Chains A and B, each alone.
Chain A
Amino acid sequence: MSVFTKLTLSEMRISLRDPLYAFFTLLFPVLLLVILGNVPTMQEAPPELGGLRVIDLYAGLSLGLAIGIIGLQGLPSVLATYRERGILRRLATTPVHPGTLLGAQLTMNLVIVLLCTILVYTVAIVGFGVPFPKSPLTFLLAVLLNCAGAFSLGLLLSAVASNGKTANAIGTFLFFPLMFFAGLWAPRELMPEVLRRIGDFTPLAAGQDLITDSLLGQSPGLLSITVLVGYLVICGAAAVKLFRWE
């Protein structure tokens, strides 16, 4: 097994030993879906949704919630803490570059998101009749790009925050408006035009739109893809430039 695989597995073990992490990334999204799925109005299909029901959107939003929690709250505070506590510095004295640990964290979180996707959509499809994505490839692309946007933003946060607490505070501060624009409190399709336009340029909303596209079998929205790739390139490059190892 390569060092990278070992580090990734080790990071996954450590993360899942944190009950809050395990709950919010794996259990909470499913729980949210089950609760909302039992609200009768969630079965309605307003004409704005292009044939989808409200609950169909909330399957994607539950997943987006996990991605947002990981990207904006988990990742930045964990990485800033690793720097603050000298874990990256210790690694720098070994043959393994400390960047490998960052890579392991990102990979591990991506795997958790994929597990969460399987859990949420199994329950959604079997329990609440959410349609299986008409274009599975677009769906997978949507999940990956959603992660790319949120994780690169989180990486940038961990680069600029001086410690784990600050990183967590900024992440939480960003989390709520970004989840709002993604449609957690009211679906994007039912939002006033202005809010929807602003939302187009926020990462979790763009990710949510791509998931909706895949459910409807539409070709993925170019704007959403551009926005998410933009976050990946700009935040990713800034994070690489600004990240301090100690």
Chain B
Amino acid sequence: MPVIEVEHLAKRYGGTVAVKDVSFAVEPGEIFGILGPNGAGKTTTVECISGLRTADSGAITVLGRPAGDPTLRARIGVQLQESELQDKLTVREALELYSAFYPDPADWRRLADDLGLTPKLKARYGKLSGGQKQRLSIALALLGNPEIAILDELTTGLDPQARRDTWDLISGIRDRGVTLLLVTHFMEEAERLCDRVAVIDKGEVVALDTPAGLVQRAGDEQRISFRPSTPIDDELLTVLPEVRELRRQGQRIEIVGNGNLLHAVVSVLARNGIIAAELTMEQATLDDAFVHLTRGE
């Protein structure tokens, strides 16, 4: 049974339609990503799920209850964009205070340790860097030992190292059985973390699939380019079912194809005692898939 079920969600602010028609279901224990360009309706969607906003129409069920049910607030952890704390509150005070809000809080010292906040416990919020504020915000979302954690743009503003550390932490949280709903615009993040991704554009879900599935939709076209150690006939390679096209550029050969292209080509070359020098391979990425899916028609 899904832990989050969104059916035909719609939300407008005055005359602006933020969400037109969004439906998806999140299964227990998965990391579900919401991907989309700026202004696509991602944040409004998670705000409705979190109970911060009421949908104009459609239904949202979270852990078997309608979104906004007060009992859900102890069971879900939410990290929002642009939610700050008082400048003069220290990290330790914030963690201790927010622990007191929950019936069964996590050990804040461990959480602080996991997020690399231990050296900053005495620092005031106003003196923290953007990345440190972000990590504290994630810690606060996880303090209540939630069954579902909703994280909006969780690694925005983090440096690459901190971003990777956070990804490890997220994987660790999932291993504890927490379902995660991530809003992101980082393809690498979605590819690395998410089991499934809903791509939202202009208030509608335009695709819902695994990251690999989304990439495939963009076409699983691959390009291989290399310089053969000895001249070869085109036919040697064009007979392969995986090869669709072969082009020569000076000494280089460029092959476009799909399936297990690299393996097929390299095997043939090896059998003929030819070495592929300066071999490069390009593959469609989630980036391509994203652009493909959200390109204005």
B206 at interface, CB cutoff 8 A: no
Q: Give A86's nearest chain B residue, CB to CB.
A: B83
Residues of chain A with a CB closer than 8 A to B101's CB: 3, 94-96
B100 at interface, CB cutoff 8 A: yes
Residues of chain A with a CB closer than 8 A to B84's CB: 85-87, 90
A-B contact pairs, 10 of them (CB 8 A): A3-B101, A7-B97, A10-B89, A10-B93, A13-B93, A86-B80, A86-B82, A89-B80, A90-B83, A95-B102
Residue in A3, A85, A93 whose beta carbon sits within 8 Å of that of B78 in the complex: A93
A118 at interface, CB cutoff 8 A: no
Check A94/B82 contact, CB under 8 A, given A6-B100, A10-B89, A10-B93.
Answer: no
Q: What's the nearest-Cβ distance from chain A to residue B222, in Å?
A: 44
Beyond known contacts A10-B93, A94-B101, A94-B102: 8 more, CB 8 A cutoff: A6-B100, A13-B88, A86-B83, A90-B84, A93-B77, A94-B98, A95-B102, A246-B52
Per DSSP, chain B at the interface is: loop
Residue in A18, A87, A94, A246 whose beta carbon sits within 8 Å of that of B85 in the complex: A87
The 3 A-B residue pairs with the shortest CB-CB distance, nearest first, are A86-B83, A93-B78, A90-B83
Residues of chain B with a CB closer than 8 A to A92's CB: 52
B74 at interface, CB cutoff 8 A: yes
Residues of chain A with a CB closer than 8 A to B144's CB: 94-95
Kindly supply a per-residue 1/0 record for chain A positions 13-32, scoring 1 wherever the CB is within 8 Å of any chain B CB and 0 otherwise: 11001100000000000000
Interface size class of B (residues with CB under 8 A): 20 to 34
Q: What's the nearest-Cβ distance from chain A to residue B101, in Å?
A: 5
Interface residues in A, total, Cβ within 8 A: 21
Tell me the A63-117 residues at the B interface (CB within 8 Å): 82, 85-87, 89-90, 92-96
Check A14/B74 contact, CB under 8 A, given A3-B100, A96-B101.
Answer: no
- How far is A218 from B85 in the complex, measured between Cα atoms in Å? 47
Residue in A6, A13, A90, A96 whose beta carbon sits within 8 Å of that of B80 in the complex: A90
Contact B88 A14 (CB under 8 A): yes
Q: What's the nearest-Cβ distance from chain A to residue B146, in Å?
A: 10
Q: What's the nearest-Cβ distance from chain A to residue B239, in Å?
A: 61
Tell me the B95-154 residues at the A interface (CB within 8 Å): 97-98, 100-103, 140, 144
Residue in A17, A89, A90, A93 whose beta carbon sits within 8 Å of that of B88 in the complex: A17
Q: Quick one: which of B80, B83, B85 has the most chain A CB within 10 A? A: B83
